[in-house]
Amino acid sequence: MEPIILIHGGAGTIRRDEMTSEREAAYRAGLENAVLAGQRVLRAGGSALEAVTAAVLRLEDEPLFNAGRGATLTASGQAELDASVMEGTTRRAGAVAGLRRVRNPILAARAVMERTKHLMLIGPAADALADEAGLTMVEPDYFVTPHRQAQLAAAIEAGRVALDHDLPAASRMGTVGAVAIDRDGHLAAATSTGGMTNKRDGRVGDSPIIGAGTWAEDATCAVSCTGQGEAFMRCAAAHEVASLIRYRGLTAQEAAEEVILRQVPANGGSGGMIVIDAQGRPGIAIGTEGMYRALARGEAAPEIAIFRDPAG
- Contact call for residues 284 and 6 (beta carbons, < 8 A): yes
Catalytic center residues: 175
Q: Average pLDDT for residues 135-143, to the nearest whole number?
A: 95
Helix axes 123-132, 105-115, angle to 10 degrees: 80
Nearest to 175 by CA among 162, 193, 197: 193
Name the least confident of 44-48, 68-72, 301-305: 68-72
Q: pLDDT tens-digit profile of 254-267?
A: 999 999 999 999 99
**Domains annotated on the chain, with CATH:** 4-307 (3.60.20.30)
Q: pLDDT tens-digit profile of 77-102?
A: 999 999 999 999 999 999 999 999 99
Which residue pairs from 129-136 have beta carbons closer than 8 angstroms and sit at least 24 positions apart in sequence? 130/96, 130/99, 130/101, 130/102, 131/101, 133/107, 133/108, 135/102, 135/103, 135/104, 135/107, 135/108, 135/111, 136/102, 136/103, 136/104
Phi, psi values for residue 181, rounded to 5°? -130, 135
Q: Could you tell me which residue, 239 or 163, shows the higher pLDDT?
A: 239
Q: pLDDT tens-digit profile of 203-252?
A: 999 999 999 999 999 999 999 999 999 999 999 999 999 999 999 999 99
Q: Average pLDDT for residues 280-287, to the nearest whole number?
A: 97
Q: Which residues pair with 86 in a beta bridge?
A: 93, 189
Q: In whole angstroms, give the CA distance from residue 284 to residue 266.
A: 19
Contact residues for 199 (Cβ-Cβ < 8 A; gap 6+): 72, 74, 75, 80, 161
Q: What is the pLDDT of residue 301?
A: 98
Q: Over 70: is that where the pLDDT of 14 sits? A: no
Q: What is the pLDDT of residue 173?
A: 47
Q: Average pLDDT for residues 106-132, to the nearest whole number?
A: 98
Q: pLDDT tens-digit profile of 15-59?
A: 777 788 898 999 999 999 999 999 999 999 999 999 999 999 999
Q: pLDDT tens-digit profile of 165-207?
A: 455 544 444 799 999 999 999 999 999 999 988 999 999 999 9
Q: Average pLDDT for residues 278-289, to the nearest whole number?
A: 96
